[in-house]
Structure 1
Amino acid sequence: MKTQNGAFASTGSACPKKATELFFVTHPMVLKALLGPFLTEADAECGRVVMRSADAHVTACLVDSIDDITRWHGVNNGRVCRAFAGADRREASHG
């Protein structure tokens, strides 16, 4: 895409990324999410396993878009919870 002066428009970090859902780990005894955001339900499920509580569950929140910081947190939270849940080791052994 070109702007009026002929220069190409930036498509870097200023552009928000599209997403339909963010996932969180919640517990009925706590008013706000315990873990999250996560970009995938599978990552949030790993977070729920890490919580070691039968009452913890995964909830989803619909969003129009997410910014780069939220995306980074979602990716990072997923990596950390997969590592603690042992999901990375299971994937590596099957891969």
Structure 2
Amino acid sequence: MKIKNGAHAPTGSACPKKATELFYVSHPKAARALLGPFLTQADAECGRVVMRSPDAVVTACMVDSIDDQTHWHAMNNAQVCRVFAGAACTETRHE
């Protein structure tokens, strides 16, 4: 692909984020994860608190790397869950 000045445009994400795991909140009555992705297990635990179900569990999925969009979603999910969980999850902030 070329842009107007003749330079080649990069394909894919310009800077994929390295990660070994993404975390999700699952429930035995659901066929797939209900919340996630999260970058850390602590953030996923906040999601589990938000679920308010004793049967909710944190699960992990191994990945090679994550793109910018997935990274943004994971950061946003963590921030939203911290707000809803309140004081129960204040120690997992990403600055």
Q: Same fold (TM over 0.5)?
A: yes
- Residues 46-71 of structure 1 deviation map (CA, whole Å, 9 limit, x = unaligned): 00000000100000000000000000
RMSD: 1.9
Give me the whole-angstrom Cα distance separating, in 1, the residues matched to 2:19 and 2:87: 24
- How far the C-alpha of 1:15 sits from its partner, in A, is 2.3
Give me the whole-angstrom Cα distance separating, in 1, the residues matched to 2:35 and 2:88: 19
Instruction: Report the counterpart of residue 40 of structure 1 in structure 2.
Output: 40
Aligned ranges 1:49-64 → 2 under 5 Å = 49-64=49-64
TM-score normalised per structure 1: 0.77
Distance 1:80 1:88, change over 3 A: farther
Unaligned runs of 5+ in 2: 1-9
TM-score normalised per structure 2: 0.77
Instruction: Report the counterpart of residue 81 of structure 1 in structure 2.
Output: 81
- How far the C-alpha of 1:90 sits from its partner, in A, is 4.4
Instruction: Report the counterpart of residue 16 of structure 1 in structure 2.
Output: 16
Give me the whole-angstrom Cα distance separating, in 2, the residues matched to 1:46 and 1:63: 21
Unaligned runs of 5+ in 1: 1-9
Distance 1:51 1:29, change over 3 A: same
Count of aligned pairs between the two proteins: 80
Identity among equivalent pairs (%) = 74
